[in-house]
């Protein structure tokens, strides 16, 4: 089975206040619970406060889940923006690993296999000096890895340019909510949702997701 693993760390998490850190932690854990219901077999955990590990038994869902995580964190409201530019711009550094898993034992807390090793190694190798790149993809199929990595970098650039409000709209777009539904949730009018969606280049993100979700990941050996 071709798994997808996500390894991520929250950017500049130490600039958040204690209260913000607690609320953000709960926000992420609530997202994990939601994703468990939406994607059977999903497992997400928050380690040491700012390090995230997720596992999905279906690689085709990995990019959408990764973007849900990114937009969830980037849309988090902070009370004082001073000193939090990196957090507000990037939110989270993330690596996706596509490969098999040798052992998945949630009861024992064990994720062991190529997918989680790949995501962890890829995140560790991400250049800290170049924070413009905050999403990389590693795959056991090296022929496809280059193309998938390019897709990740391009989609990441769009999200890093998106505002907190735009990320909020993108989050619900990723959940396939209509613009009117999003407007009702956020308490704004539908034209405002459309404006935020257009400014954040949702049409590009949607096309990229359609491309990713139609790929045959069973060919990754």
Give the Cα separation of 106 and 12 in Å (integer).
29
Over the stretch 107-117, which tens digit does the pLDDT of each residue have?
Answer: 899 999 999 99
Q: Is 3-219 CATH 1.20.1740.10? A: no
CA 122 to chain centre: 15
Over the stretch 2-19, which tens digit does the pLDDT of each residue have?
Answer: 999 999 999 999 999 999
Over the stretch 45-95, which tens digit does the pLDDT of each residue have?
Answer: 999 889 999 999 999 999 999 999 999 999 999 988 888 999 999 999 999
194 Cβ contact partners less than 8 Å away, ≥ 6 residues apart: 179
Stated pTM of the model: 0.94
Residue 128 tokens, joined? 């800290």
Domain ranges of the chain: 3-219
């Amino acid at each position: 089975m071709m798994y997808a693993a996500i390894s991520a760390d929250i950017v500049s998490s130490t600039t958040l206040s204690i209260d913000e850190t607690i609320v953000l932690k709960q926000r992420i854990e609530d997202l994990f619970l939601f994703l468990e219901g939406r994607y059977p077999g999903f497992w997400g955990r928050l380690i040491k406060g700012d390090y995230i590990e997720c596992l999905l038994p279906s690689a085709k869902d990995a990019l959408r889940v990764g973007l849900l995580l990114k937009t969830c964190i980037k849309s988090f409201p902070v009370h004082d923006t001073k000193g939090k530019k990196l957090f507000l711009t990037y939110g989270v550094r993330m690596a996706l690993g596509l490969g098999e898993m040798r052992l998945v034992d949630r009861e024992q807390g064990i994720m062991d296999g190529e997918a989680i090793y790949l995501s962890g190694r890829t995140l560790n190798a991400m250049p800290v000096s170049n924070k413009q790149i905050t999403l990389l993809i590693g795959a056991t199929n090296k022929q496809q890895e280059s193309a998938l990595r390019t897709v990740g970098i391009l989609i990441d650039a769009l999200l890093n340019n998106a505002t907190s409000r735009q990320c909020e709209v993108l989050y619900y777009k990723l959940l396939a909510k209509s613009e009117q539904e999003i407007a009702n949730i956020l308490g704004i009018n539908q034209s405002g949702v459309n404006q935020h969606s257009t400014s954040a280049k949702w049409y590009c993100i949607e096309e990229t997701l359609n491309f990713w979700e139609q790929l045959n990941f069973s060919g990754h050996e």
